[in-house]
Structure 1
Amino acid sequence: MTAILSEETRLRDEIAGVGRSLFDRLFTFGSTGNISARLSSGEMLMTPTNASLGALDPGRLSKFSAEGVHLSGDKPTKEAFLHQCMYCERQDAGAVVHLHSTHAVAVSIIEGLDEADLLPPLTAYYAMRVGRLPLVPYYPPGDAALAGAVAEKARDSHAVLLANHGPVVAGATLREAQYATEELEETAKLFLMLRGERIRPLTAEQRDALARK
């Protein structure tokens, strides 16, 4: 019991710390975005509805059973299903970060991009931490049909971009999910800065070599 409580306390504090870091560095704003982490029991901790990631109370995080039933804590976010469907499809995932980060959202609105892989591999770290980024079609926030659309894309990618909404990124740990989300946002910024320029992304061979690592 002590070990379980210790793990939960650590994860609660880590979620609050990551949320504050993302908020302070303008990766999110207002009460947008949410973070979750999965306990070894399969239970999930998640930031609650209408909560700023910059001012989270670790003791008030929403807690869910492994089956997705709200057990305790503040009222859950209406986007809880985004996290739950990522965990269902990504069995190795220990955490999920969902943001409304500005540059990634901007990319999600551009017409004519490859919806199976929205961003070119501009850097090695993007290729390693994000890989391929599919677009999930637009659904209104909280629409239950979005879960199926996210799950379909998540089978082949641990990061997806919701059209006119923002990224959802899973990682083995909360730090891995955080770093991948940040890499996605910075690559989206680079992509927008370089539009109209001739670019030299990594080749398919270079990206595949990084993926094998």
Structure 2
Amino acid sequence: MSAENKVREEIVRLSKSLFDRGFSVGSAGNISAAVEDGILMTPTNSCLGFLDPARISKLDRNGNHISGDRPSKEVFLHQAFYETRPQTGAVVHLHSTFATAVSCLSDTDPDDCIPPLTPYVVMRVGKVRLLPYVRPGDERMGEMIRELGGRHAAVLLANHGPVVAGRDIASTVYAAEELEETAKLLVLLRNAPTRLLSPENVAELKAVFGGY
């Protein structure tokens, strides 16, 4: 099996896992992964639970559609991560329930919308920015991510959902899951006295495990 076909199969396997566990519903969400000569992306209006590896969209590095079904309309936000974070090997965009809920709360801190409740959100996700609402598929999504200058591996799109970039498809899916679980904790702990990791705790984690 070629390297590209292995990535196609991995996208299908992990997408189905996300769908089966409720991280994605209907045709919501999209996933992409870098290959040697371009980017593979889930097609527009496709369901993450029922992907066909042969029909996954393929684009060149400039975002031009090469083969497969038509790519997700949110190709712009994926491409922006690949352009601004050279280490990016995959991008996962979900409409997962609790991360989307946090993106809808009016008192969410736009500069740090997923606080350091656990070491794992620090290690796998990093500081998360909240980006202003624009309609799905609007090219301004890509512009807003480019304006971050590659400083963040994860964002919340206001009233829309999370987007996470990572080194490869598996670690990016795991990071998206970690973000969702931390958002769930954040909602469950809302209005309760909460202990966060200290700046020193966060610095130690970044020193030992690196950052995204």
Matches within 5 A, 1:184-199: 184-199=179-194
Residue matched to 1:101? 96
Deviation at 1:150, TM superposition (A): 1.9
Residue matched to 1:14? 10
Residue matched to 2:50? 55
**Aligned-partner residue type, residue 20 of structure 1:** K
Residue matched to 2:80? 85
- Deviating above 6 A after TM superposition, structure 1's stretches of 4 or more consecutive aligned residues are none
C-alpha contact (below 8 Å) 1:154/1:160 kept by paired residues: no
Residue matched to 1:26? 22
* Shift in alpha-carbon separation, 1:99–1:154, aligned structure 2, 3 A: farther
- Out of 152-161 and 87-96, give the one that drifted further: 152-161
Residue matched to 2:116? 121
Q: Does 1:155 pair with 2:127? A: no
C-alpha contact (below 8 Å) 1:159/1:169 kept by paired residues: yes
**Aligned-partner residue type, residue 85 of structure 1:** A
- For structure 1, the 5+ residue unaligned runs are none
Quote the RMSD (CA, aligned, Å): 1.0
TM-score where L is the length of structure 1: 0.95
Aligned residues: 208
| Distance in 2 of aligned mates of 1:151 and 1:17 | 30
Deviation at 1:111, TM superposition (A): 1.2
Deviation at 1:174, TM superposition (A): 0.5
Q: Does 1:208 pair with 2:203? A: yes
TM-superposition CA deviations, 1:77-97 (whole Å, max 9, x none) = 111111111100110000000
**Aligned-partner residue type, residue 98 of structure 2:** H
Match of 2:60 among 59, 65, 70: 65
- For structure 2, the 5+ residue unaligned runs are none
TM-score where L is the length of structure 2: 0.96
| Distance in 2 of aligned mates of 1:154 and 1:210 | 23
